[in-house]
Amino acid sequence: MTKRSILITGCSSGIGEATARGLNADGWRVFAACRQEADAERLREEGLEGIRLDYDDADSIASAVAHVTDVTGGRLDALFNNGAFALPGALEDLPTDGLRAIFETNVFGWHELTRQVLPIMRAQGSGRILNCSSVLGLVPMKWRGAYVSTKFALEGMTDVLRLEMRDTPIRVVLIEPGPITSKIRVNSIPHFERWIDWEASPRADQYRETLLNRLYESRGKDTFELPPEAVVKAVRRALSARNPAPRYAVTVPTKAMGVLRRILPGRALDRIISLG
């Protein structure tokens, strides 16, 4: 029997790497995509099918999809859009070009890759598209405006795509993690240093008292933080369910905020979020 195939992005670490390893162990043919060729090569040396895919590079997206379809005979059973980065800082200090840069990776690249995969799934008469959102796609949080904006956009884009695909055999699902062990904090530092001139900000004292400590100091696990394997379990459910749910929440904060967003007035929710 031909193995089911899946393309997963952001596999250099964290959720992407854990999902690639987990599904590979389950018998899937996993194409583990990384932005850097060195990370893809490392995964190949470890027995995975590592490929390069940079959401900011349309040619690399097309090349990755062409490689996958070439070696599978034109099939791709599932896509897990996961690769993304964070850009911390107050919105008033964020240059608009910085916002464009994070949208290019976290939203526009996902859209480009998804559009290239959809014709393959239409032709084969089946497919699953999973998009990795966040608790920050449900509720806002200070200092994370750029990332929150991309995840809110992703939630809307995915919901619309799910509705539009209802007349096809393609199912579209949101995976919504909360605090998960990953390198997203460390990986966000170069983006912060590139785009945020915090010393010139009217909030410079707030940066010193809050964000800088959290950004540059490892303080151990956050409350309710789970390992990336918790997300792998949700991905498995989304891939195996005959009729998958529109969204799968992972971690207590995500589930709680999903409920609170529905039942609380906006000001009350703001107060609760501000305590975090």
- Backbone CA torsion sign across 11, 17, 23, 24: positive
Instruction: Please list, residue by residue across 145-184, b when 16 or more beta carbons sit within 10 angstroms of its beta carbon and e when fewer do.
Output: bbbbbbbbbbbebbeebbeebeeeebbbbbbbbbbbbbeb
Among 147, 207, 216, 248, the active-site one is 147
Using CA atoms, how far residue 47 sits from 35, 43, 249, in Å, is 18, 6, 30
What are the DSSP calls for 142-202, one per residue?
Answer: TTBHHHHHHHHHHHHHHHHHHHHTTTSSEEEEEEEE-SB-SSHHHHHHHHHHHH--GGGST
> Collapsing DSSP states into helix, strand and coil, what is residue 13?
coil
CA gyration radius, the chain: 19
User: CA 117 to CA 75: how far, in whole Å?
Assistant: 10
Question: How big is the CA angle at 176 (ends 82 and 129), to the nearest 5 degrees?
Answer: 50
Is residue 248 annotated as part of the catalytic site, yes or no? Answer: no
Instruction: Yes or no: say if 257 and 275 are a contact pair by the CB < 8 Å rule.
Output: no
Q: Which two tokens mark 175?
A: 């995976």
Beta bridge partners of 176: 249
Other CB atoms within a 10 A radius of the CB of residue 101 amount to: 18
Active site residues: 147
